[in-house]
Structure 1
């Protein structure tokens, strides 16, 4: 009963905290007046006053009880001194004992009421101070916002009235401020823009300037790179017209059923454990495997197709960086978990006709879960990676850490890019609406030219001045000279701006020095495709995601499209899917035990035994000379086997 009471109190506490969180997210301020108004303060005082009056009444009752109890006790003592029969004497003792118990109980009740009131008064003072503090903070924020708005307006007016561009624009703005006068009638109003400064060594402020003047001032310092001549490569890179596909693909899947499930009942005993080792029902999944999610990163492959034609390696780096960011755009609404692939499971994407590429994934390890991926494009690039998913359930949130390097090589130029994925965090696992965030830094390195791109994914915060899901970055050459500034958000779009001049700013109040980059107007690199109609009922799948699990003839028998539990879930038969999922997992456990028993060498842990015994079918372990790590790389043979329709070497995993 005590645990139930604690759970009830915790639930009540959470329910009372909800309006506060809504208040912080609501920009209108309509609900702020309700949560921190003087009426609430007076109501609190009124409640305490009422409780005090009630305690006074209880104290009066206590005095009366004590007075009448003492009189009753004396009367009973007088009766006890009389000479009465034995039977009456026994009854009198019983009455005396009951009167004593009554007096003790009454005193205990009054003491408990007094303790309650003292506790209420103590907490009421704390609540009053907290409420007063929140009111003062709100007033301070309102005054600050009003002051900033006035400063913003005055700056805009001063800028519009200025005869020319400011000689030292950084003096006009506070460090880390944001001024984006877009949407004005004149072109001059769009010539200056300040981006929020980052907090580490790559911190910077950018100033957009007029193109003509800065090309003159540039003096050819950027070598052969010509911004105007590269417009056809970088400008509007994401606005690729989609022609009618040669093969008609499906545009919808069955709507997601409305199944209810108590998440806490499943997760409460799993805190701190690997997510891959937790038996999860399909209710938390989406009808795609991790191999298909990995393939979905190729949705904006046209960025790499365009990058092939770049004559400048730093321009090419901008498109590669935009491609690396675009892979996260599908995750903003996709909080469901993909299916953990079976060991030996594969997934192919044979889209040479419309996408110009072929992709193959294979699950090469189960503990830890690891997938190898190889992509060949007929446009002149190839991509490969081995990604190991490390995930931890922390109680309130889930951390997903993809481990492993991603390689991208352009055949004509020999430019070889390497980078790693950032950390994904799923928030509000137990209570509230689930949402996902990407955080951390990504460094992309061109190992041929030594060009580098530093990307920073800013974590989301209710109190941050930054826009949600913001990404910033700088592209620099082998000498460390910055050429481009990147900015945008990982769920919407990315832009790049060419740097024509850089200089250090004066140190801020925190003692940190920012770099001021003077840039030309930004070019759009990538923009997210709109979601299909009714996407909210189809797991928020994109157009490409809707086609990934579409049935195709001629694929390997280990292909994710043929996985029965995943197919049942897609059709809406979740109960049957859960049963089938348990069968497949038990089959996989039996196969694993057989492999371990067959291991005759004195291996160490079970993971080491499995790594020695299991050999992937289409990939093999090799030493990566660039990273120094051992990773699975494609050894060939899959597409030839598909052409012959010879799948005798494939294991029976389904």
Structure 2
């Protein structure tokens, strides 16, 4: 009996220590999505389930043996019970009897649990096999559809070129719908074009690129220059991503102190919150980066040269391409920036006076604290101005946090009068509870030129582990007031954006759902924008860009409400986080005290009840901005009313509140 018990124990350990469970978890995790439907993986999955079944049979055998020997053990104990033995020994036998019964019950429960596990594993694996097979069939069908579309376009192009009476002028404008080349290259013209498959309710595309013939590359390149209308002499869209930087008259810093290696002790945070009101709980600077939200808003101007380039565009749809690239470029700094900026104090400002090297002046002011809202105005000496009021709305959804910037962004070019309006996309911070934090940008952006009615529809594709799309992909279409597409945009919001001129569009065959898509035939894409490389040692400097490193640099002559003068932010930048937490708590308490004073003053002066007085206390009159009705959006927003730069010239800041 002892020998059998050892064998039973060895069988159970063999099951527990086998790699079958680990193999199954690997197959079920979806980590190898690309290979999940291959015959080798299917064979491995069946082999794993077979091994699990064999182990279950071993457990069933163990169960039978345990039941058999357990019953024999119990009979022996009952026989001992019937013998006349001393009462002390009888008690011990009774205890042994109870333990044997518990052992049998536990063993049976273990066997039943293992059987349930195997049944669940089998049903789950079947479900995943069906899902993977379905996705594989869809992918095959999509590839066949794309191939069919490419063949149809090839035949259409050949038929068009062979049609009688067509023009042989190779320099005819593409905007007129012609796609003509010298006769000797008719059979190969389509090899240098791209095809974008555009969904009706989405601006995502599938691109089919055919390889050009090796023996005609050089000749094709020369020919493309002669027929491509948008490579005109002004080259407005060419090399748009490389902005020339004028040498600054003021030397800017290129680094800040390294981020200290502070471990985030959640208990040290929680114990300071016991017994306190939720609104009075100070969030430590451990979650922050040493910049305010006003400075982060100013970072949108890093690629201002795109707008400087757009000033020279005489074609409004070409200008729209550059505006779209600028709107997307503002997200490139967020990919590694998982820390939150400091929430500005009410009345806090931030100026960026960079006429010398950037050719612009920017001013931000925190105009509301509940909800947090900031107004921003930029004027450029190159002939454009930008303004916005952004209110941050956030929702915590368990595993992730959605951050939704509310408010319209306005951009106007003085010479042409083109006035563009768009809104920001949603930012999502993932793995809030557990895991490594990462940020994604999702949603649709529509940019409208309210003068010409040109539009750009951009789509930020959400990241999916199972998606075959490039991570952080953005697609878009630029169309005129008649809805005719002129350019297709593609890229990723953290790296670059390209645009391709549309020369022909046609509807495709309906898909399985009965929906019809539009196929855009385009010229080869050109680079509009490319992200600047991060400075050396950026990983130890909060992943700040070259511009971000200069934003909190101390400057003389700024307003006393400027973010550079905020003491807790400055202490954090220097690495003195404990002192920064103390200072941050002091500033927040000072802001609450200021609000209470406004509340009391309103209650005394206006004879209001408590609720009305509280509403009045929340109404704050900005110093440099004023509320106006936006005629284009129909919303009320804060617009710059002037006076700041004149006050700076005089160094007259008597009107500024004492917030620090």
Distance 1:295 1:111 in 2: 63
C-alpha displacement of 1:80: 8.8
**Change in 2 beyond 3 A, CA 1:341/1:53:** same
Quick check: 1:636 aligned with 2:638? no
Does structure 1 conserve the Cα–Cα contact (< 8 Å) formed by 2:388 and 2:409? yes
Does structure 2 conserve the Cα–Cα contact (< 8 Å) formed by 1:282 and 1:569? yes
Does structure 1 conserve the Cα–Cα contact (< 8 Å) formed by 2:196 and 2:520? no
- Higher mean C-alpha deviation, range 256-265 or range 190-199: 256-265
Does structure 1 conserve the Cα–Cα contact (< 8 Å) formed by 2:405 and 2:424? yes
Distance 1:337 1:182 in 2: 60
Q: SS at the partner of 1:288?
A: strand
**Change in 2 beyond 3 A, CA 1:149/1:299:** same
**TM-score, normalisation: structure 2:** 0.73
**Change in 2 beyond 3 A, CA 1:187/1:132:** closer
**Change in 2 beyond 3 A, CA 1:36/1:476:** closer
Matching of residues 339-358 of structure 1 within 5 Å: 339-358=342-361
Per-residue Cα deviation, 1:495-515 (whole angstroms, up to 9, x for no partner): 333334444334344433333
C-alpha displacement of 1:351: 0.7
Does structure 2 conserve the Cα–Cα contact (< 8 Å) formed by 1:440 and 1:456? yes
Does structure 2 conserve the Cα–Cα contact (< 8 Å) formed by 1:245 and 1:354? yes
**Change in 2 beyond 3 A, CA 1:99/1:161:** same
Unaligned regions of 5+ residues in structure 2, if any?
A: 1-19, 606-611
**Change in 2 beyond 3 A, CA 1:109/1:407:** closer
Does structure 1 conserve the Cα–Cα contact (< 8 Å) formed by 2:195 and 2:522? no
**Change in 2 beyond 3 A, CA 1:385/1:54:** closer
**Change in 2 beyond 3 A, CA 1:46/1:488:** closer
Distance 1:241 1:131 in 2: 50
Per-residue Cα deviation, 1:218-240 (whole angstroms, up to 9, x for no partner): 99999999934464322112222
- Higher mean C-alpha deviation, range 230-239 or range 516-525: 516-525
**Change in 2 beyond 3 A, CA 1:274/1:425:** farther
Distance 1:483 1:271 in 2: 60
C-alpha displacement of 1:273: 18
**Change in 2 beyond 3 A, CA 1:105/1:413:** closer
**Change in 2 beyond 3 A, CA 1:95/1:475:** closer
- Higher mean C-alpha deviation, range 465-474 or range 198-207: 198-207
**Change in 2 beyond 3 A, CA 1:291/1:144:** same
Partner residue, 2:463: 460
Does structure 2 conserve the Cα–Cα contact (< 8 Å) formed by 1:314 and 1:475? yes
**Change in 2 beyond 3 A, CA 1:151/1:638:** same
Partner residue, 2:319: 316
Does structure 2 conserve the Cα–Cα contact (< 8 Å) formed by 1:444 and 1:454? yes
Matching of residues 226-375 of structure 1 within 5 Å: 227-229=230-232, 231-261=234-264, 279-375=282-378
**Change in 2 beyond 3 A, CA 1:161/1:102:** same
- Higher mean C-alpha deviation, range 230-239 or range 439-448: 230-239
Does structure 2 conserve the Cα–Cα contact (< 8 Å) formed by 1:181 and 1:193? no
- Higher mean C-alpha deviation, range 409-418 or range 228-237: 228-237
C-alpha displacement of 1:114: 7.9
**Change in 2 beyond 3 A, CA 1:230/1:285:** farther
C-alpha displacement of 1:52: 8.3
Distance 2:270 2:384 in 1: 43
Q: SS at the partner of 1:584?
A: helix
Unaligned regions of 5+ residues in structure 1, if any?
A: 5-24
**TM-score, normalisation: structure 1:** 0.73
- Higher mean C-alpha deviation, range 73-82 or range 384-393: 73-82
- Higher mean C-alpha deviation, range 228-237 or range 572-581: 228-237
Q: SS at the partner of 1:371?
A: strand
**Change in 2 beyond 3 A, CA 1:598/1:455:** same
Distance 2:86 2:134 in 1: 72
**Change in 2 beyond 3 A, CA 1:178/1:569:** farther
Q: SS at the partner of 1:343?
A: coil
Does structure 2 conserve the Cα–Cα contact (< 8 Å) formed by 1:272 and 1:392? no
Per-residue Cα deviation, 1:205-255 (whole angstroms, up to 9, x for no partner): 889999999999999999999934464322112222334321110001112
- Higher mean C-alpha deviation, range 318-327 or range 200-209: 200-209
C-alpha displacement of 1:390: 0.7
Distance 2:266 2:178 in 1: 42
Q: SS at the partner of 2:47?
A: helix
Q: SS at the partner of 2:195?
A: coil
Distance 1:283 1:126 in 2: 44
Distance 2:324 2:123 in 1: 56
Q: SS at the partner of 1:437?
A: strand
C-alpha displacement of 1:560: 0.8
Per-residue Cα deviation, 1:121-178 (whole angstroms, up to 9, x for no partner): 8889889999999999999999999999999999999999999999999999999999
Does structure 1 conserve the Cα–Cα contact (< 8 Å) formed by 2:500 and 2:524? yes
Number of matched pairs: 630
Does structure 2 conserve the Cα–Cα contact (< 8 Å) formed by 1:177 and 1:194? no
**Change in 2 beyond 3 A, CA 1:37/1:343:** same
Does structure 1 conserve the Cα–Cα contact (< 8 Å) formed by 2:197 and 2:518? no
Does structure 2 conserve the Cα–Cα contact (< 8 Å) formed by 1:397 and 1:428? yes
**Change in 2 beyond 3 A, CA 1:445/1:305:** same
- Higher mean C-alpha deviation, range 274-283 or range 452-461: 274-283
Q: SS at the partner of 1:26?
A: helix
Partner residue, 2:506: 503
Per-residue Cα deviation, 1:190-217 (whole angstroms, up to 9, x for no partner): 7211234345166778899999999999
Per-residue Cα deviation, 1:583-603 (whole angstroms, up to 9, x for no partner): 22222222222222333399x
**Change in 2 beyond 3 A, CA 1:393/1:160:** farther
**Change in 2 beyond 3 A, CA 1:136/1:262:** farther
Distance 1:479 1:175 in 2: 15
Distance 2:217 2:40 in 1: 64
Q: SS at the partner of 2:184?
A: coil
Does structure 2 conserve the Cα–Cα contact (< 8 Å) formed by 1:178 and 1:193? no
Does structure 2 conserve the Cα–Cα contact (< 8 Å) formed by 1:177 and 1:196? no
Partner residue, 1:113: 114
- Higher mean C-alpha deviation, range 223-232 or range 558-567: 223-232
Does structure 1 conserve the Cα–Cα contact (< 8 Å) formed by 2:400 and 2:429? yes
Does structure 2 conserve the Cα–Cα contact (< 8 Å) formed by 1:203 and 1:515? no
- Higher mean C-alpha deviation, range 66-75 or range 434-443: 66-75
C-alpha displacement of 1:58: 8.3
